[in-house]
Each structure stands twice: as structure tokens, then as C-alpha cells.
Structure 1
Amino acid sequence: MSKSQVHYVLLVLASACLINANSVANRSDADDEGIDEIIGGTTVARGQHQYMAYLRSFYASSPGFYSVCGGTVISNRYILTAAHCVQDHKTGEIANKVEVRLKVYTIDPMDSSAKLITVTGSSIKPHPAYFSNGASNSIYDIALIKMTANLPTSDYYLIGKLYMPDYQDTVTAVGWGHTSSTSTTVSPTLQQVDFKIGAKEECTSFWGSNYHHEYQMCGIIPGKSVCSGDSGGPIVRYSSGYQIYTQVGISSFVPASNGQALCEKGYAVFTRPSAHRDWINANSCLLADGGLCANWYYV
């Protein structure tokens, strides 16, 4: 596959394929996105990755349907996710409601202890440069969701940490979804998988002009990757010295052929939060109303 022939699909069960409680339905073109999950991974132990948020986004143009994504709690007031999780990449329509669920381990059935926060209106903030002039731009595939109230102090353990420097090593992806590019059965539990981030030359060689190293990174291990349904969720690095996870990327898109996700190929692309540090801080660091700033780590 030449650079000019490399296509991609976004990683969300959204925009094209949305679901209600009992069925799967199309909102636009069914060949554009799928509903898959962590590829080649394992089920996490209950209590791990508690910074994960489970998101359902609703659109005024598709009443009764919702999209599914992951996200990260980055402060006592904000969730970090992908822009295409809350804004239609074809039409530019922004979700009119997002259901944020915290403390989630199983989604089928939904954890009885899950904390539900419903967000509407201007509290749903895709990057303003993600969609303009009738088209989306993947280098700005990042969004913030402002929760309706600050997390109580007792829930501060849920807050994740963001990693500032450029990173090229082994990461862990986390998400919910299906087990292959063609699977039709959702995983009921949170999954994770480890893989290696590629150098600029490796990612550019595969993706060509679809990849921008300053704003993105890509995985390079076949059979170890994310897939649709993992959109907006984090890839994290683990520091054994400090015994902490720090987020280095946001799941964005994977290779595709004829509209079918090819998640097993590897080479999934992730947005770098560090490339958008100023935007994140400017839009989420609200000390005046009791909000905390995101934690940026260099370890």
C-alpha cells in the first residue's frame, strides 16, 4: 500500500455508526467507522486505570442514538478526549449532550457504582481548529468536557497525569469495545494492550501526508493496537521509579481499506496532548471557580 493509498478510519462508535439501547443504526455512512476495541490485549484488573471515563455523546440531528468513546479525567473539573468523539467529522455538528461515567469497569451490565455526570452546551469543547471550512483536521483531534461540578476531594485519586516531553517507547492503551476489526460483540470489561511508539520516520513512511509528528504519534506493532470504540481514550506510559501512569496520547484513527478498519496492522495514530498544552491550560485551568490545573509530568 503506497502512501497515497493509505486511508484511515476514526476510532469511535460515532458519527457514522451510533447505537441506542437495543440496536445499531447508521447516522451517515456506515463504511466510515466501526465498533472495535483493544487488539491483542487483556482485561485489566478492577481498580486499574481509574482515570478512565466512559462517554456517550448525543446529537440533535439523531435523537435516540449516541456515540461511545473513552476519555481521561485530567482535573477535578475536566475530561480530555478526542474532538471527533464530540463533533461530527463530516458535518461539524457538536454533540448537544455528553453522558460522562466515572468509576467504570464493566459496561455490560453497567457498573452499579458508576458515577454519571451529564454535560450540555458550551461545556462540550472540541478544539476550535478541528473543523473549519467544511472539513476536519486530525492534528487538532482533541477536546475538553467540563463537568457540571468539581469532583469531591475524596475522588481526586481519579485524576490522571499528562506527560510533557516527546516520547518514543512502550505505551499502554486502554479502552472498551470489540476484539477485532470485524467483531460485532462488545467487551463488557476494560481492556489494555502494550505496544511500541514509532519514530517519526517509521510513522511517516506508513502514513505519508496523513501523519504530522509534531502533533501525533503512532504505534508500530502488528496485532497490538487500538481500534474503533477506543476513540478518545488514553495511551499511557508507566514510570516504575515513580509508580505512576502519565498520558502521552489520545486514540484518534487507524488504517483502513474500503471503509473497513484494519486495526490488526498496527500503526494507529494518537494525538499528542503535549502539542496542545497551551490550549488545554487556557480552557481547563479555572482556579477562579475552584478548578484545578492539569498535572504535567516530565518523568
Structure 2
Amino acid sequence: MEIHFVILTLLGSIFVFAQSSLGSAQGRIQNGIEVDTLKRFPHYVTITAETPTGKNYCGGSIISDQWILTAAHCVSDKQFSVHFLLKSLSNVENSFSITLDQSSVTAYPTGFDNIALVKLPVILKFSDKLAPISYSAEDVEYTKPTNGFVVMPGFSLQESKVLTYGMFKLVSSRECRTNFYWFLDEYLQICTVGWNNNKQMPCEGNEGTGLIIGWPQEPRLIGIFSSPLRCGSDLPAIYVKLLEYEKWIDQTIGRWRTTSTPWPIITPMIPISTTPLPTPPTPPNWVTTDGRSTTTTTSPPKPPTPATEPPIPQPASTPPTPPPW
């Protein structure tokens, strides 16, 4: 059962829902690690749309108090809903959602690039569990053979109805191209594989979710999951390469800021904690050293113990418990 809250404005109606259940997600992060608090991924939103064959699930990222970044096909339906503060599909009493239509969507103008911006008809009031994430990938060297530790949130495939996250590593375009050949656009796409766990991967149902580097100290988006695979595939996952779209994002948001009319503020329907967060764990890193004629890359270290680093998922029926925030 859903309870509907309607906020009326002079310019139209905004539908804000408090729900009791969202059903079951089909797909999402395979073998994911359960998220113990929304403070880990306060930018994350779930996008749903009703279709003749059932409910479609996607992810998205808050990048400002009025804008969501996601995959274009996730918001191509006549109507769709954006869900905030969603940590469980079966218990969503502290979350809220906004139902939108195509007038709120700005897709990339080519029509085939799978990236879109959604303008909210409200101004979000941020907290430690609801906040934007930055997007910048200028210093990421995508051509390195094993370039970095990245994460992505989502719901697990038939494993749990709670929010989880997966840990991955970027792979070179050459390695990715050996699997996809000419289907991969090296200029506009990037790839990942599981971090020390090849069974951990994003799959169908998690499109539109942002790929994050620098987590948890300085998280920022560098990609958008756009090409879903069936869970269990051994192929790398493919993402939109956000670096090539940053100027378009800035221009789109900037244009609306100068022409739009202010809207009411939506406050998250949860008590805001005033307790400061402890220092988060440090993500793994490694060093590349250049010789006179060759380049040698040290093997990436295994992630540290759970005391200083998010735990590494192991093949098991239940994902391991992440460290306390």
C-alpha cells in the first residue's frame, strides 16, 4: 500500500510519496556488501517505472539540490519515480519519492548517448544521509592496465532487499576490448571487473548508478553504469565515461539556474544526526614507476583488514559485514 502526499504550488503539482514497500529488485549488485548506513552513499537514489511487464529499477546520483544524473533509458518512460533515503525495499518508512514526467528530463542531445539529467521540481535540503556527490575525472588515467579502486551501490540479486555496494577495479580499454571488440567505444566508455572477487559485479537493474572513485574520503563520480549484463557473466561491466560529458552537465545545470523559478524545499523525513562522523577507512592505492625504456606497474595490494578498509566480499551465502562508520 502507498500513501500519497501532494504538495500544490502555483506552477503545478509535485507528488511526494511515502511508501510501505517497493517489491523486489531484479538484478542489481551481485554478491554485494550490505550498506550499514546511508551516510556511506548519501547521493544514491533509486529510480522506478511501471511497465506492462512489471516494475523497472535503475539507480541515479544527486549532483546538486535539484539535479539527478542517471542513464537516459532509465527515464525514458512517460512517468517514473525517484526514491530518496531508500535503504531497504521492504521497509521504506523513512524514505520519500517524487513522481516525474518527461518535462523534467534533459537527455544528451545526440539521442544515443546513454546519459541524462533529471531536474527536480523541489529543492532538496541536505543532511548527512542526503547529499550531492561531485563529478570529476580529469586526473583519472584510463589507459593504465589496472588503474584504481572504485565502488558502486545497488540492491543485490535475489540475495537481500537491503542496499549493498560492490568493489571493483578499472581495467584498460585494451583489456576490455578483447571481450567486446568493436562494440566498445574507448572514447565514451570505461570498464571494471571485480576487486579480488570476480563474482562481484553490477548487472541488469542497476543501470544509471554512478561509479565512484576516491571513496570514502573524497568520493566523486567517474562513470554511469549503462550496459547491463545478466548476473553471473564473466565479462567486464561497461560504463559511460563521465569525463566526456562534464562540460554538457555544467552547461545544462547552469542554464537552468539562470532561468528557473525557485521551488519549495523538501526536507528528508528522518531525524538529522548531529554526531560527527569518525574518520573513514583509507582506500587501497599503488604506485607506478617509470624506467628509462619501460614502465613497470606494481601489482595492486590486497585491500587491508576490515579495521581500516571496507571488507572484501568472499563467495558466501551472506555478504560480510562492513566496518562501523
Counterpart in 1 of 2:33? 42
Q: Show the counterpart of 1:85.
A: 74
TM-score under structure 1 normalisation?
0.69
Change (3 A) 1:225 1:153: closer
The answer to whether structure 1 residue 152 and structure 2 residue 125 are counterparts is yes
Structure 1 residues 154 and 268: alpha-carbon distance in aligned structure 2, compared to 1, 3 A threshold: closer
Matched, 1:284 2:236: no
Residue of structure 1 in register with 2:108 after alignment: 127
Unaligned segments of structure 1, at least 5 residues: 1-20, 25-33, 88-94, 131-136, 179-184, 256-260, 292-299
| Amino acid in structure 2 at the alignment position of 1:230 | N
In structure 1, the partner of 2:56 is 67
1:38/1:177 contact within 8 Å kept: yes
Q: Is the 8 A contact 1:196 1:219 kept in 2?
A: yes
Conserved 8 A contact 2:205-2:228? no
Q: 1:12-51 residue pairs with structure 2 within 5 A?
A: 35-47=26-38, 48-51=40-43
1:209 paired residue number: 182
CA shift in 2, pair 1:225/1:156, >3 Å: closer
Partner amino acid for 1:42? I
Aligned alpha-carbon RMSD (Å): 2.7
For 2:207 and 2:66, the matched residues in 1 are separated by 21
Shift of 1:86: 1.9
Q: Which residue is 1:232 aligned to?
A: 208
CA distance in 2, matches of 1:155, 1:252: 28
Contact 1:99 1:118 in 2 (8 A): yes
From the superposition, tell whether residues 115 and 246 of structure 1 become closer, same or farther in structure 2 (CA, over 3 Å).
same
Using CA pairs under 8 Å that are at least 6 residues apart, name the structure with larger relative contact order, 1 or 2. 1
User: Number of residues paired by the alignment?
Assistant: 230
Could you tell me whether the CA contact under 8 Å between 1:36 and 1:186 is conserved in 2? Answer: no
User: 1:279: how far off?
Assistant: 1.9
Mean Cα deviation higher: 164-173 or 95-104:
164-173
Report 1:130-209 matches (<5 A): 130=111, 137=112, 140-152=113-125, 157-165=130-138, 166=140, 167=142, 168-178=147-157, 185=158, 187-209=160-182
Q: Give unmatched runs, 5+ long, in structure 2.
A: 1-20, 263-325
User: 1:121, CA displacement in angstroms?
Assistant: 2.8
Give 1:216 shift: 0.9
* AA of the residue aligned to 1:117: I
Q: Superposed, which structure 2 residues align to 1:260-275 within 5 Å?
A: 261-275=230-244
- Partners in 1 of 2:134 and 2:261 — Cα distance? 19
| TM-score, normalised with respect to structure 2 | 0.64
1:251 matched to 2:225? The reply is yes
Give the conservation status (yes or no) of the 8 Å contact 2:30–2:156. no
CA distance in 1, matches of 2:153, 2:129: 20
After superposition, the Cα gap between the structure-2 partners of 1:252 and 1:203, relative to the gap in structure 1 and judged at 3 Å, is same
The whole-number CA distance in structure 1 between the counterparts of 2:42 and 2:125 is 15
Shift of 1:44: 1.1
3-state secondary structure, aligned to 2:193: coil
Q: Which deviates more, 262-271 or 187-196?
A: 262-271
> Are 1:237 and 1:246, in contact at CA under 8 Å, matched by a contact in 2?
yes
Aligned: 1:102 with 2:75:
no
